Amino acid sequence: MYLIPLPSKITAQDGLFSIDHNTAIVLDVAQDDNDLETAKLLQQEIKKVIAIKLPIKKMLRSAGNLNENCIYFQYDTMDSGKEAYQLTVRSNKITIAACSNRGFLYGAATLIQLCKISRGEISCVDIVDEPSYSNRGYLLDVSRGRMPTLGTLKKLVDRLALYKINQLQLYMENCLRLDGFEEVWSQTDPFTAEDILELDYYCNIRGVELVPCVATFGHLYDLLHSVGFGKYREMGTARGETFTWYNRMRYSIMNVSDPGSFMLIKGILDQYLPLFRSNKINICCDETFDLGKGKSASMAEKMDYGEMYLFYVNQLVEYLQNLGKEVMIWGDIVKSHPKHLDKLNAQVTCLNWYYDYGATEEVVKIFSDIGLKQYVCPSVSGYSRLVNAYDLSFTNIKEMAKLGHQYHAEGFLNTDWGDCGHINMPALAIPGMIYGASQGWNVEDDRDFSTIDQSISFIEYGDPGKSLVGLLRELSHQDIITFKDLAFFRDAKVYNQTYTDSGSSLYDNAKEEIMQVSENQLKNAVTRSAEIFKSLKQNNIGSYADLQDEMLEYYLAARGVALMQELTLIIKEREYGQNVHPLNAPYELASKLEYWLMDYCQAWRTGSRESELFRIKEFIRQICSILRKYDATVLIKIPDIEVE
């Protein structure tokens, strides 16, 4: 069975229902506009599969012809949860029974997949289904380089709804046009209030809650490096002044000893919150690395780190709760200071993030033991990479979903971060997003990753060979030296920034990885990436008009991975003096990188605002300058021009 998410209970029956030109989608007379939108979505998706547009009707239950050749939405008072549904396929009728808008939406989503699998010739079946987690979310970083267009976000919302995800968070630092903060957002492509209102409306009709998500403590580089608001920055002007992707994330936290810090964030929240109908808000408050080390040092003499952290966070929480909001924060700081867990406002939901292999019970039970609410939060593992690390991501998602369910977590939030300028392209995150949806809906789904890859390839992409996601997974294995490693190389070479974390030099760590990988490993990765590119190109789905943008990003990823491994060979030889034989002269690789960049920019602009594309361009320009300086004496041959 290729359904994803996998329903809770499937019982096959004899017979077949054939969707044809006489089939109608029939709503109960009592159903509302949201159910009508679901019917229109069902109509649209069936038309994509079999090129037949089904009429939509609304009838009384007493209508005599209800039992013939229709897809009927039937209200049912169900004993199970509000998102449950029952899908019954018989030879003369399909019935979706539910007690809520979302129940009808999710029943329709399963029917759409059955239609894709069978091309409209649907085997009779009884499906009874409801989710493992009532809160199933997806977080998209829109602040660290890439800001999607409104059209791209609506397309994402459609995809989330069809895979039964019911929450979306857009992580924001600097990308909303707020009055009085022009200095912060004027150099970006900010969302307007109207953009958010329109997206919130669209999410609502697709059964997705748009949950506000905004940095309010750390990760505030643009705000706290501005002239007008820099005075609220903890660390003054010494550390992290040079802009790099790492410095942006590391050194910009609020000075909690200044009462003005709370008032500043309150002013942001007062403009931000009215744009959302959700009663939830994620105020983040994670990775407050420098708390107590700068302007608040005197406060740190009287309070320990955890007390200082909660002094500020609880102020924000109290203010927001007085406005009727359910507050979420990232759980990393309170988890690392467990003796203060009981001092956190008991109604706060901790977003318990863990993005590595080997999640253990201790990762999740710490909040459960003390009675704090939590969401478990894995990752699609795309940050700082050209290709998502699918092995890591799928394992992380599965482990966190099972542990969260075991310890009664209230939600499951899959994250898609954009570290290193959001070099990772949106299409590469789709498999991880879908697998997160699958596990958030049904944690009992233990199908192996190969089967999941085939299911996603078939259901999402219509790939008859079911090979696409498997190719992407194999491509991720060729991404040996990642973009992050090369960013650390650039930062040291160009900006003399080497960074120290927990006593370790991040540049030295990246250098060691580059030196340790063998010449043969890198050359094999280049060769295999080229082979994967050809296999992707030969896949028939590249000719589907609605999938060409995604396919172009997969092509770019394959080309980019090969180029990054080729670049590593040159760095090994020219920077670190290793006896290797690069595949290209430095100036030749520079030209290849620049051609790749032009195609990357075109793909970026197809679905994203210009935003911080210039930083990716700057990175490639700097790398190409380094390469050409290696070959400063090489003359580029100019074609002879005949002069008459």
pLDDT reported for residue 546: 86
Q: How many Å apart are CA 42 and CA 250, to the nearest integer?
A: 45
* Mean pLDDT in residue range 480-500: 96
The three state secondary structure string of 356-416 is: CCCCCHHHHHHHHHHCCEEEEECECCCCCCCCCCHHHHHHHHHHHHHHHHHCCCCEEEEEE
- Using an 8 Å Cβ cutoff, are 414 and 138 in contact? yes
Structure tokens at 630: 């290696």
State the amino acid at position 257 in one-letter form.
S
Residue 644 — very low, low, confident or very high, per pLDDT cuts 50/70/90?
very low
pLDDT reported for residue 83: 96
Structure tokens at 523: 């050359």
Q: With pLDDT > 70 as the criterion, what percentage of the chain qualifies?
A: 97
pLDDT reported for residue 502: 82
pLDDT reported for residue 487: 98
Q: Choose between 238 and 475: higher pLDDT.
A: 475
- Vertex 614 angle, CA 613 and 617, to 5°: 95
Q: How many Å apart are CA 485 and CA 513, to the nearest integer?
A: 8
pLDDT reported for residue 635: 47
Q: Choose between 62 and 48: higher pLDDT.
A: 48
Q: What is the pLDDT of residues 409-422, one digit of tens each?
A: 999 999 999 999 99
Residue 341 — very low, low, confident or very high, per pLDDT cuts 50/70/90?
confident
Q: Choose between 621 and 543: higher pLDDT.
A: 621
Q: What is the pLDDT of residues 103-122, one digit of tens each?
A: 999 999 999 999 999 999 99
Q: What mean pLDDT value characterizes the chain?
A: 94
Among 544, 394, 420, 305, which residue's Cα sits nearest to residue 4? 394
> How distant is the alpha carbon of residue 2 from its chain centre?
23
pLDDT reported for residue 472: 98
Question: Does position 640 have pLDDT exceeding 60, yes or no?
Answer: no
* Mean pLDDT in residue range 8-28: 96
Q: What is the pLDDT of residues 194-217, one digit of tens each?
A: 999 999 999 999 999 999 999 999
- Which phi-psi region, left, alpha or beta, contains residue 617 (left: φ > 0; alpha: ψ -120 to 50)? alpha
State the amino acid at position 206 in one-letter form.
R
Among 127, 122, 125, 95, which residue's Cα sits nearest to residue 25? 95
Least confident of 306-315, 511-520, 628-637: 628-637
Q: How many Å apart are CA 315 and CA 338, to the nearest integer?
A: 20
- Vertex 278 angle, CA 276 and 280, to 5°: 115
* Mean pLDDT in residue range 508-519: 97
Q: What is the pLDDT of residues 221-263, one digit of tens each?
A: 999 999 999 999 999 765 657 899 999 988 899 999 999 999 9
Q: Which domains does the chain show, CATH number per domain?
A: 9-129 (3.30.379.10), 135-446 (3.20.20.80), 475-630 (no CATH)
Virtual torsion, Cα 583, 587, 593, 594, nearest 10 deg: -160
Q: How many Å apart are CA 358 and CA 68, to the nearest integer?
A: 53
* Mean pLDDT in residue range 328-351: 93
- Using an 8 Å Cβ cutoff, are 206 and 160 in contact? yes
Residue 642 — very low, low, confident or very high, per pLDDT cuts 50/70/90?
low
Q: Choose between 79 and 209: higher pLDDT.
A: 209
Task: Please report, in angstroms and rounded to a whole number, the separation of the first and last CA atoms in the chain.
Answer: 72
Rg of the chain over all Cα atoms, to the nearest angstrom: 26
* Mean pLDDT in residue range 298-321: 96
- Using an 8 Å Cβ cutoff, are 213 and 169 in contact? yes
With residue 39 as reference, give the H or E element that holds it: helix 33-50
Question: Is the dihedral angle over the CA atoms 245, 251, 255, 256 positive or is it negative?
Answer: positive
pLDDT reported for residue 541: 84
Question: Does position 633 have pLDDT exceeding 60, yes or no?
Answer: no
Among 160, 17, 36, which residue's Cα sits nearest to residue 89? 17
Q: Choose between 81 and 309: higher pLDDT.
A: 309
Q: How many Å apart are CA 403 and CA 251, to the nearest integer?
A: 33
Least confident of 39-43, 57-61, 377-381, 619-623: 57-61
pLDDT reported for residue 38: 97
Question: What stretches of 272-354 adopt beta strand conformation (E)?
Answer: 280-282, 326-330, 349-353
* Mean pLDDT in residue range 360-386: 95
pLDDT reported for residue 67: 66
Q: How many Å apart are CA 14 and CA 124, to the nearest integer?
A: 6
Q: How many Å apart are CA 435 and CA 410, to the nearest integer?
A: 19
Burial call 54-85: b when 16+ CB within 10 Å, e when fewer:
bebeebeeeeeebeebbbbbbbeebebeebbb
DSSP state at residue 607: H
Q: Where are the alpha helices (DSSP H) in 517-641?
A: 519-538, 548-574, 586-607, 613-630
With residue 505 as reference, give the H or E element that holds it: strand 504-505
Indicate yes or no: pTM above 0.85: yes
CA separation (Å) from 310 to 171, 249, 330?
22, 21, 13
Question: Does position 569 have pLDDT exceeding 90, yes or no?
Answer: yes
**Count, residues in the chain:** 644
Question: Does position 493 have pLDDT exceeding 90, yes or no?
Answer: yes
pLDDT reported for residue 643: 46
**Are β-strands 411-416 and 135-141 bridged in parallel, bridged antiparallel, or unpaired?**
parallel
pLDDT reported for residue 603: 97
Q: How many Å apart are CA 81 and CA 103, to the nearest integer?
A: 9
Main-chain phi, psi angles of 46, to 5 degrees: -65, -40
Q: What is the pLDDT of residues 138-175, one digit of tens each?
A: 999 999 999 999 999 999 999 999 999 999 999 999 89
At CB < 8 A and 24+ separation, what contacts does 109-112 make? 109/161, 109/162, 109/163, 109/164, 110/3, 110/7, 110/85, 111/42, 111/71, 111/87, 112/42, 112/45, 112/46, 112/49, 112/162
Q: How many Å apart are CA 302 and CA 475, to the nearest integer?
A: 53
